[in-house]
Chains A and B, each alone.
Chain A
Amino acid sequence: MDTKIYDMDKIDIAWCPGCGNFGILKVLKEALSELDISPERLVIVSGIGQAAKTPHYLRANVFNGLHGRALPPATAIKAVNRNLVVIAEGGDGDMYGEGGNHFIHTIRRNPDITNIVHNNMVYGLTKGQASPTSQQGFKTPVQVNGVILEPFNPLAVAIGLGASFVSRAYSDDMKETKEIIKKAIKHKGYALVDLLHPCVTFNRMNDRKWFKEHTYYLGKDYDLTNRDEAFKRATETDKLPLGVFYINKSAMPFEKKLIAYKNNKKPMYEREVNLKKLKNLIASKKG
């Protein structure tokens, strides 16, 4: 499928020139096109923030909901129509801050969705405050003496919860990132892509040079089914590993386990009330 199929006619992109989000948008379109996913079959769910605007810049079905709340509707959309390909996309503040509780419980639920989190370690849209992943010492208009909180470690949390697919990518490495996103989308179950990218306006601490110097790829002999090793790698902070950390192949997707599909495989929108059964249910209340 040609990537042009995802191009919008005319759009006014709200990102700053040089923003890592441009690379992510390009890579996402390429990954989708290589996987032959048509825009009509695709739903991108997002919250609020600069990253959460991504679905407005490519052709797809879109549910752009509330700040922090992309994962619950994404889970439900996949649950009521299993034929759809669902991606939940947003930034670090959206997914790990405001939506932190949903992040935890969506991993537990394990719906077959891909969760792409644009992680630039700063709040962009609200102009430069710390995000949950900001590093200690990072000075902002609010954290005036630098961040004092321990940064949130999404990978360690996800691996700790036995997430079925956990990965980290870096936006400037477009080739590698595309492959990671493709694997995440193909994976049957919840797939996390923690996608590092520079914020050229508000994060001068973690710039392109910093990312180049502080990342490395997990090697070819890395065993991605070894949860202990994955956890160990996820807690490395001097240099951040990139690639797929962990795959839990035994985890069955949420929507495959739903009783509602036991006798009927149709998506919810195609169904009618079974009046005969309702009549019986009512009659059973005669005592």
Chain B
Amino acid sequence: MKDISIVICGEAGQGIQTVEKILTSILKLSGYYIFSTTEFMSRIRGGSNSTLIRISDVPVNSFVEKTDILIPLDSKAFDHVKWRTDKDTILLGREEFIQKKSKRTFEVKFTELAKEAGSKLYANTVTVGLIAGMLSIDFPILEKFIRGFFKKKDEKIINGNIEAGRKGYEIGERLVKENKIDFKLKRSEKAKDHLLLSGTDLISMGAIGGGCNFISSYPMSPSTGVLTFLSRQQEEFGIIAEQAESEISAINMALGATYAGARGMVTTSGGGLALMSEGLSLAGILETPVVIHLGMRPGPATGLPTRSEQGDLLFALFAGHGEFPRIIFAPGKTEDIFELTRKAFEMADKFQVPVIIMTDQYLLDSSFLVPLIDISKLKNKKYFVKTNKNYKRYKLTKDGISPRGIPGYGGGLVVVDSDEHDEEGHITEDLDFRTKIVDKRLRKMDLIRKEMEPPELIGNKNYKMLVIGWGSTYYGIKEALERLEDSKTAFLYYKQVYPLYPDTGKYLAKAEKTVVIENNATGQFAKLLKMETGIQADNSILKYNGLPFSVEKIVKELKAIMKQGGK
């Protein structure tokens, strides 16, 4: 395996995302495996933002500190990402942005070259061309992509960008020819068949796959992309996408929609879920389905709005007053993000419960190469019934699931109430019945457990050390363990965090040493493990500065734990 990591750093508004979009696309079209992720400040202009692009001959999907090439686009950039560079890092860019000169620094006058091509606005295309040249990408691939990318602009701008790309390309080519850099990588036909998708894309397409036809939300980073994606697909897929006046409105709208038979969702972050908590509780007593996408960012309160954390696990688990069943998914693997979002809609309808799907900024804003998603077997069932005159919405049943009618479909009336209610759905203070209907609602957990997603064990089944993770840390932990090559260590990846897989205790008990890795400060998943199994994990590796775990960080921390004797 060989991989190159390129970091581009500059101010907000300099177009780093455009460079990322074009580069990842042409690299993928050329047969490279790629992964990209961005970290950015909460501002429209200025500051320091960076994008990492990893290019490899095998699939890579995680954040690394190692920086092979750094392209600083302004004078603040170098200092911002210095911690990720070492003596081997190649610096490419304007002299004044490089600061320290060495054999590994090359001056590239992006702006001047762009001006020569027609406008300084083409500087980003020079950057793209440079990297394409260094990796010996066929220039026609770049040219074709630029043409498509700028197709709405006039011919002069398109040609200017192509020319700018060529100027960068020639420099990149020359650096390779002069043996100043060597980035030969094997290409793969398989990579070309992959899909280039962000976590946001995967959630959104999973929602469409799950039959989502209603989304109401209030914009909140990092979850807004799902609302944007589905809004663009309103006509194509017949989706109602409404920007609500608040998160409170959003969840209440979604519940109205699902009550009347739609498949509804909301997308939000921690602060939004806080506002939705009463609505979540409403979903619990109404037994009306709803899917909540919770894209986490660091709190408390406004916290770090554009950064990443897994700090809302216990909040998602306990949000909403009163006692009612819920399901929480936390996918980390790309295939799981799509599939579990789809499944969330099925589970919500089948069990008439709220389903929360947890992601975070890192997962949502990263781009992955995803094996082609096969939807040929995809089938969504309709779980509601046609009502008759004697219909009772909350009929007490053995398994706790009362056949769900929807208004206007059949001859019955569908009555749902946030007050405790009788079988018909009307307000009641019959306290004997109260016990019965609470039991009915909670009984559904038994069925839910039967259809849950077991954790995935990666590595030796006869492990001595067990590393445990959930959600977005999946690829980072996996790659770290591949690097450690320790045959006695295995990784247990949880994609559903609630209800917790019943055999979890067995997995933990088998290990001599357990390590829970999570992107928060208090070890929330370790607490959940203790709560559900009674077993306290031996070690926790935590990170909570707003950035995701790097592979290097996980390797270093695991090595330290391995060195310690005992547990």
Contact = CB atoms under 8 A, between A and B. Distances in A.
A260 B29 contact: no
B262 interface: yes
A41 interface: yes
A76 B241 CA distance: 11
Contact of A273 (B197, B211, B244, B426): B211
Given A56-B427, A81-B260, A268 B214 contact: yes
Contacts of B406: 269
Contact of A281 (B233, B261, B372): B233
B373 A282 contact: yes
A193 to B, nearest CB: 20
A268 B380 contact: no
Given A73-B252, A274-B237, A60 B426 contact: no
B416 interface: yes
A64 B256 CA distance: 10
Contact of B238 (A75, A260, A275): A260
A43 B260 contact: yes
Contacts of A69: 248-249, 252, 279
Given A65-B255, A281-B233, A282-B372, A43 B196 contact: no
B278 A66 contact: yes
A66 B193 contact: no
B426 A268 contact: no
A123 to B, nearest CB: 18
B257 interface: yes
B234 interface: yes
Interface size grouping (class) on chain A: 35 or more
B260 A72 contact: no
A144 interface: no
Contacts of A281: 205, 208, 233, 236
Contacts of A66: 252, 278-279, 282, 418
A241 B259 CA distance: 38
B375 interface: yes
B261 to A, nearest CB: 3
A186 to B, nearest CB: 19
A220 interface: no
A268 B213 contact: yes
Given A278-B209, A285-B197, A76 B418 contact: no
Interface size grouping (class) on chain B: 35 or more
Main secondary structure of the interface of A (DSSP, over half): helix
B415 interface: yes
B245 to A, nearest CB: 4
Interface string B204-218: 010011110110100
B196 A81 contact: no
Contacts of B237: 273-274, 277-278
Interface in A230-265: 258-264
Nearest to A261: B238
Which of B210, B239, B249, B406 neighbours the largest number of chain A CB atoms within 10 Å of its CB? B249
Given A53-B427, A72-B256, A267-B261, A260 B282 contact: no
B256 A45 contact: yes
Which of A39, A53, A65, A84 neighbours the largest number of chain B CB atoms within 10 Å of its CB? A65
B428 to A, nearest CB: 9
Contacts of B419: 64
B387 to A, nearest CB: 9
A101 B193 CA distance: 49
A243 to B, nearest CB: 30
B347 interface: no
B462 interface: no
Interface in A50-80: 53, 55-56, 59-66, 69, 72-77, 79-80
A209 interface: no
Interface in B484-524: none
B553 interface: no
Nearest to A81: B260
Contacts of A274: 236-238
Interface string B390-412: 00000000000000001111111
B528 interface: no
Interface in A174-200: none
Contacts of B254: 76
Given A43-B407, A282-B375, A72 B244 contact: yes
B260 A80 contact: yes
B194 interface: yes
A5 to B, nearest CB: 11
B240 A73 contact: no
A80 to B, nearest CB: 4
Interface in A106-122: none
B412 A258 contact: no
A208 interface: no
B29 A287 contact: yes
B425 interface: yes
Which of A48, A72, A83 neighbours the largest number of chain B CB atoms within 10 Å of its CB? A72
B560 interface: no
Which of B209, B411, B412, B426 neighbours the largest number of chain A CB atoms within 10 Å of its CB? B426
B545 interface: no
Interface string B312-345: 0000000000000000000000000000000000
A64 B261 CA distance: 16
A48 B195 contact: no
Contacts of B425: 62
Nearest to B235: A259
Given A285-B195, A287-B25, A73 B262 contact: no
B170 interface: no
Given A263-B238, A286-B195, A287-B28, A74 B256 contact: yes
B207 to A, nearest CB: 10
5 contacts: A40-B407, A64-B418, A260-B238, A285-B197, A286-B194
Given A74-B256, A260-B235, A274-B236, 20 more contacts: A40-B413, A55-B415, A56-B427, A61-B408, A64-B415, A64-B419, A76-B242, A77-B260, A79-B214, A79-B257, A80-B262, A81-B260, A258-B240, A260-B240, A262-B235, A269-B382, A273-B380, A285-B195, A286-B193, A287-B28
Closest 6 CB pairs of A and B: A269-B261, A73-B256, A76-B256, A61-B407, A268-B262, A72-B252
